[in-house]
Amino acid sequence: MEPQRPVKRPRNDEDVPQASEAWLDDGNIIIVCGTTGFRVHKSVLALNSAVFKDMLAIGDATPDCNETFEGCVVVRLPDDAHDMVSLYARRGSVIAFETLVSLIKLSTKYAFDELREEVVELIRLMFPTEIEVHDKQAYLATVPSDFDAAIAVKLGITYHIPSIVPLACYYTALQGIEELLDGPRKTLSNGTPMVLSHVAERTCLVFREKLARIITETLDVNKLYSNPWLGCVNCEGITDVERQAIERPYRTLDTDIFRILPFGESSSVDILKNLRDYINRCGSCHGRLTDFDIEVNQQIWDRLPEACGYGDWDAVCQAQTASSSM
């Protein structure tokens, strides 16, 4: 869909734009969103945005066919002023999630192609496609504090970034259904809540149902190479009560099953340690549970794309490559 053409109308006193932080004294065009004005340079807009380049080329931003203010052409756009502020005021090593949302919206709409590529890459860093990257500090440092997984699913679907959808859906599965459906959603700095689309909502719910089935199939002892439930030569083995406690995090998803504990300890080993006195702890059981976690986590990770309608991670990466070349 092509972006809406700027609104042309005579200027009234109440239409005088309020200066934003992006108000350059030597700017020669004023972009107005709502009542907020952005005085910038035509040449910079044309250089970075194919849409603005075409707009300027056909005369949509010349004095004889548009309103002016302080000698500058005024072009009114239907976009939220907050989004435009994000476009001009992005800074810092970790960009706020709400800023990324605004940037992907405007860079796509107005064809700021290089900016869009940069933003897509920043968003993709938050959603690795390899399990080995998921727990590294370099990855954790890319996740902003105002991150909203469900909105990330919406971004992946709306702006054709398929590589982020499986892991974003997984993060929503760690939330309760009421939290997913009713929020509260993260809000923008102007107080406006981020809105979850029906398509994104449905994608998250279908993913949750399919993931539950995948986990059940993965925990089937007949399909496991590492079976810790067999008898142990060094102790009486893992009891049914202990097994239920160990499997519970997988079945309930009340915690991130892929997150490695401090010092690299297996989450299942940690559970068993908490259930047994120190004297009854068994190194053999711990070793088998570590192998169990590694195998189960890898199998579930490998099938995350399946819960989103993709065959595997290779299919997701191929879809991302195809989308990036469009």
pLDDT digits (tens, 9 = 90+) for 49-105: 777 777 776 665 555 556 788 888 888 888 888 787 777 655 555 688 888 898 899
What pLDDT was estimated at residue 274?
92
Q: Is residue 5 part of a domain?
A: no
Closest listed residue to residue 36, CA positions, set 25, 20, 23: 20
If residue 270 lies in a helix (H) or strand (E), which one and from where to where?
helix 267-275
Beta pairing partners, 19: 37
Q: Which tens digit of pLDDT belongs to each residue from 274-291?
A: 998 877 789 999 999 999
Q: Is residue 324 part of a domain?
A: no
pLDDT for residue 213 is more than 90: yes
pLDDT for residue 41 is more than 80: no
What pLDDT was estimated at residue 8?
46
Q: Is residue 83 part of a domain?
A: no
Q: Is residue 310 part of a domain?
A: no
Taking residues 103-112, report their average pLDDT: 90
The verdict on 108 and 199 lying in the same domain is: yes
The verdict on 202 and 153 lying in the same domain is: yes
What pLDDT was estimated at residue 325?
74
What pLDDT was estimated at residue 61?
54
What pLDDT was estimated at residue 168?
97
Domain boundary among 166, 183, 206: 206
Neighbouring C-alpha atoms within 13 Å toward the C-beta of 290:
11
Closest listed residue to residue 27, CA positions, set 45, 14, 9, 49: 45
Encoding tokens for residue 193?
Answer: 């809540």
Q: Is residue 312 part of a domain?
A: no
What pLDDT was estimated at residue 144?
85
Domain boundary among 29, 44, 78: 78
What pLDDT was estimated at residue 10?
47
Which amino acid is residue 157, in one-letter code? I
If residue 316 lies in a helix (H) or strand (E), which one and from where to where?
helix 313-324
Q: Which tens digit of pLDDT belongs to each residue from 146-200?
A: 889 999 999 999 999 999 999 999 999 999 898 888 876 766 666 677 788 999 9
What pLDDT was estimated at residue 157?
97
Which is higher by pLDDT, 62 or 242? 242
Cβ–Cβ contacts within 10 Å for residue 75, how many?
Answer: 23
Domain boundary among 173, 206, 239: 206
What is the number of domains present in the chain? Answer: 3
The verdict on 20 and 45 lying in the same domain is: yes
The verdict on 236 and 200 lying in the same domain is: no
Q: Is residue 85 part of a domain?
A: no
pTM attached to this predicted model? 0.77
Print the domain residue range for 273: 219-302
What pLDDT was estimated at residue 13?
41
The verdict on 228 and 171 lying in the same domain is: no
Q: Is residue 307 part of a domain?
A: no
Q: Which tens digit of pLDDT belongs to each residue from 288-325?
A: 999 999 999 999 999 999 999 999 999 999 999 998 87
Max avg pLDDT among 12-16, 24-28, 186-190: 24-28
Which is higher by pLDDT, 60 or 272? 272
Which is higher by pLDDT, 68 or 9? 68
Owner of token pair 């702890």: 281
Max avg pLDDT among 7-16, 82-91, 222-231, 308-317: 308-317
